[in-house]
A and B are shown apart, each in its own frame.
Chain A
């Protein structure tokens, strides 16, 4: 445990909503979440839709109020200067209408006292080609780059990114990862939510995995994999009937796309599958990743 003061600290955060009409009880969107983010690191909140990642993030940003719990920034409650020092990219935000990309950046930049020079920001987020284009006429990837630039206009110390690459094609996603890494190289602290395990593995120094409003695992991607995912994943695309493997010492799941077995002994697993009559003609074996870890911890697919 480092004795260096964390940049952001979340303590026992809860957000409880009344249950939807016709249902009893309450909805615990965030249920006792605690973590801390060190200066200069990229911290990830990984989990499926509805896990409570965005709610946690929006409480940390000061957009939502918490039902209970504490958010400390630089060791104290967030003061009036907080908004000047952080940058926020929301998951779904419309851009201001009838403005060009350049005008949008100028507008948001002038809402802050501290500002990153526009030329620097434009180069960082690779917006040179579309500067004079109307906001309504840019592609999904360009829009995400602009939204990221809007989060950086004030040269923030801490940047919140809520699912920055959701809905993007692989190339646009890689472009955005590249920009996030360049932002990090400038010494910025980044907190991001994602449900792409690959994104978390590439970008995050440390992460928490969330489900049903709770943290179910925490650590560096390597630590999490070493701790929970030694071994391999045997995948049978198109197969069903994981229940037939219930007597074995490994966990087997019907993932919807096939059967997946998380095993420490591939040879024994293959023998067991053959004995139980599984067709191995399309079988593949791979080392485990965070997605398998999530499957192991919750019994469900990360993107389900």
Chain B
């Protein structure tokens, strides 16, 4: 049994590496995306001081009218202080103000140079003079996470999703359509062996590609992974299992490549936009956040972001890892149970 699985893995890997266009795309796509975003967002942070205001600027009038009139400063609506804190911690907000609290509170990151100026701006405001002494100051520790560093785990996760869904789902449908599955069925290969080989081969390829992309991005931008690389690798492997499981479920009975393509798009598009690959859903309605929280890509992106950006350990991300493992196991069991070699 093991020999058959190994030979099917070997054959699938050969196919992957010899299909130059597909290999090139798998490697180049995430690099291009990250490089593009690094270019687009490289200048933004230096232009403005970003102040988050709980309840929005209107809630800060009239007490903080002068602050609101300051030049070169942008004001961001924040739903609650808790949800703004992470952004202060990662320097994506220079200062967070809660004018509705009693006394009004503000948070800055001590290590942020722009936070220093934002605080000066807040405290020197004439309108706030009377209340400045009454402001409650809270320091947040953290360090600057450039957007490129924030977006990178998301791009890696997204690439893994596309590669798993199409590299397994679409490929198995193609095998079924062109008779390769039928040919394998005429050998002692069982459905379990065939599916195992597809899964193992894809996990190896996905983790390998992710490592290559990670290494290349690291060489260019020199950012660090604050958590354990082994944990990050494990997280990606679990993410790969759950994405491959979705791909296999789609492929378990589908006969047409076009239909498979449609279904894979239907599955991947919501994940791409709702799993915080590109932007945070902090200000999205509660039900959207709740729905997004169930998506495997959300778990993968949140866990890998926590490990890379915040140095999270196993204890902090175990919920995400458990969700990924559970999704993968359940969908794989379902896909194996309903898998058909071909239409009878």
Contacts and interface: CB of A to CB of B under 8 A. Distances in A.
A99 interface: yes
Interface stretch (B28-36, B136-144, B182-190): B182-190
B4 interface: yes
A246 interface: no
Contact of A98 (B14, B187, B189): B14
Interface of A is mostly: loop
A92 B11 CA distance: 21
B344 interface: yes
Contact of B3 (A61, A92, A108, A110): A110
A98 B188 contact: no
B11 A83 contact: no
Interface in B138-184: 178-180, 182-184
Interface of B is mostly: helix
A103 B188 CA distance: 19
A281 interface: no
Contacts of B180: 93-94, 96
Given A111-B189, A112-B188, A113-B188, A99 B15 contact: yes
A64 interface: yes
Contacts of A107: 7-8, 10-11
B18 interface: yes
B61 to A, nearest CB: 66
Contact of B186 (A88, A96, A97, A98): A88
A63 B179 CA distance: 12
Interface in A72-109: 83-84, 88, 90, 92-94, 96-99, 103, 107-108
B55 to A, nearest CB: 59
Nearest to A108: B187
Contacts of A83: 186-188
Contact of A90 (B7, B10, B179, B187): B179
B82 interface: no
Interface string B1-34: 0011001101100110011000000000000000
Contact of A111 (B7, B15, B179, B182): B7
A63 B182 contact: yes
Nearest to B10: A107
B14 A99 contact: yes
A150 B185 CA distance: 13
A113 B186 CA distance: 14
A267 B157 CA distance: 85
A93 B177 CA distance: 10
A108 B19 CA distance: 21
B20 to A, nearest CB: 10
Contact of B183 (A93, A97, A98, A99): A93
Contacts of B7: 107, 110-111
Nearest to B19: A98
For the complex of A and B, the 9 pairs showing the least CB-CB separation, nearest first, are: A94-B178, A98-B18, A88-B186, A93-B179, A110-B7, A111-B187, A83-B188, A98-B15, A93-B183
Interface of A: 61, 63-65, 83-84, 88, 90, 92-94, 96-99, 103, 107-108, 110-113, 150
19 contacts: A64-B344, A83-B187, A88-B183, A90-B179, A90-B182, A90-B186, A92-B179, A93-B179, A94-B179, A97-B19, A98-B15, A98-B18, A99-B15, A108-B187, A110-B4, A111-B4, A111-B8, A111-B188, A111-B189
